[in-house]
């Protein structure tokens, strides 16, 4: 089983690529942001530590963490943001490692994909066998973000400034999928990669 990290800038189309991958190979996919959200809910491993750090004012009436309130509080205080990251990132990494170990033990899949926009920055690259960079040129990304999320040019500019450059992604990633054009063209690239990386004999056979 290969563990593959999937990364790329906002608007590059990681979700569409991973949706196609899920339908065309024996795999497990973890979305790191979604995993972190699950760990924030009441009873999750991050729930109590975050309340201890940030206080009860971040809670909604139903006692779940209000993510908007939490974000407003931590992004206004760099030191607090660093403390939250020091809680969240190791916990998410431990959970991903546990799920990788479980999948390896079962031996039922060929690939285990870990998706994260900040995969490199958060150190998830260290737990992957290789990294795939989903690329799309800036004009395509801007168009997608305006159409799908209603972002303004100013908001897009702010987001792009905070992310790794294309060169930085390419320097650390093992494979690149150009998702700038038609879905069919992107999917052909995915097919070639899956064929090249797939084990000669699937686990468990």
Spans of all domains in the chain: 1-26+110-195, 32-102
Closest CA to 92 of 46, 132, 48, 58: 46
User: Out of 3.40.50.1370, 3.20.20.70, 3.40.50.300, 3.40.630.30, which CATH number does the structure's domain 1-26+110-195 have?
Assistant: 3.40.50.300
Q: What is the pLDDT along the chain (205 residues), one digit of tens a residue?
A: 999 999 999 999 999 999 999 999 999 999 999 999 999 999 999 999 999 999 999 999 999 999 999 999 998 999 999 999 999 999 999 999 999 999 999 999 999 999 988 888 888 888 999 999 999 999 999 999 999 999 999 999 999 998 899 999 999 999 999 999 999 999 999 999 999 998 664 444 3
CA 34 to each of CA 39, 162, 177, 192: distance values in angstroms, whole numbers, following the listed order: 9, 21, 23, 28
Fold of domain 32-102: Rossmann fold (3.40.50)
Q: Model-level pTM? A: 0.88
């Amino acid at each position: 089983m290969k563990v593959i990290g999937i990364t790329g800038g906002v608007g590059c189309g990681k979700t569409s690529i991973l949706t196609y991958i899920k339908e065309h190979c024996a795999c497990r996919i973890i979305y790191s942001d979604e995993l972190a959200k699950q760990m924030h809910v009441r009873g999750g491993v991050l729930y109590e530590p975050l309340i201890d750090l940030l206080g009860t004012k971040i809670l909604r009436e139903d006692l779940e963490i209000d993510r908007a309130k939490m974000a407003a509080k931590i992004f206004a205080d760099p030191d607090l943001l660093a403390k939250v990251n020091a809680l969240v990132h190791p916990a998410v990494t431990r959970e991903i490692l546990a799920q990788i170990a479980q999948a390896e033990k079962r031996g039922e899949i060929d690939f285990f994909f870990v998706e994260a926009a900040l995969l490199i920055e958060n150190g998830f690259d260290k737990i992957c066998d290789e990294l795939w960079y989903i690329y799309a040129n800036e004009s395509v990304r801007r168009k997608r973000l305006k159409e799908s999320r209603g972002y303004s040019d100013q908001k897009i500019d702010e987001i792009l400034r905070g992310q790794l450059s294309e060169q930085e992604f390419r320097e650390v990633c093992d494979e690149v999928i150009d998702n700038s054009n038609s879905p069919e063209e992107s999917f052909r690239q995915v097919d070639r990669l899956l064929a090249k990386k797939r084990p000669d004999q699937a686990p468990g056979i």
